[in-house]
Amino acid sequence: MTTYFVTRHPGALDWATGEGLAVEVMVTHLDPETIQPGDTVIGTLPIHLAAQVYQRGGRYLHLSLEIPPEQRGRELTAADLRQFGARLEAYRVISDVAPPDQTTPEPRATPPYSK
């Protein structure tokens, strides 16, 4: 079982080190094909990649934070991440696309907000 940290941001790497995260592999981009059952992936992945991690038997921990609008689009330091409440949150992301052996997805319940 391997723990991956996916980021291209030096501040996020510094934050992870400061938090004492036990990470074996640090990468700037994730190839989902490398994920094995029991692996953990930490980062801010696009939804389709997070779903592939889960499909392959991995666990996804999202690096969540509350960035004020005026701070978006700039490199954040580890101190910035702490200030903005950086935390790891576990997600199970499941694609609603039909598996290859089905022609249509399984029926889903209608959300309560639909009319």
Global model pTM greater than 0.85:
no
The answer to whether 76 and 97 have CB atoms below 8 angstroms apart is no
For strand 59-64 and strand 40-43, is the pairing parallel, antiparallel, or unpaired?
A: parallel
pLDDT at 96: 82
pLDDT of residue 98: 56
What is the DSSP pairing of strand 59-64 with strand 87-91?
antiparallel
More confident residue, 95 or 64: 64
**How does residue 107 score in pLDDT terms, banded at 50, 70 and 90?**
very low
What residue segments make up the domains of the chain, in order of their start?
Answer: 3-91
* pLDDT (average), residues 4-14: 94
Per-residue pLDDT at 97 exceeds 80: no
pLDDT of residue 99: 59
Q: What is the mean pLDDT of the chain?
A: 87
**pLDDT tens per residue across span 38-85:** 999 999 999 999 999 999 999 999 999 999 999 898 999 999 999 999
Residue count (the chain): 115
Closest CA to 58 of 45, 44, 39, 43: 39
Q: For residue 111, what are the CA distances in angstroms to 12, 104, 106, 108, 115?
A: 36, 19, 15, 9, 9
User: Dihedral of CA 45/51/57/61: which sign?
Assistant: positive
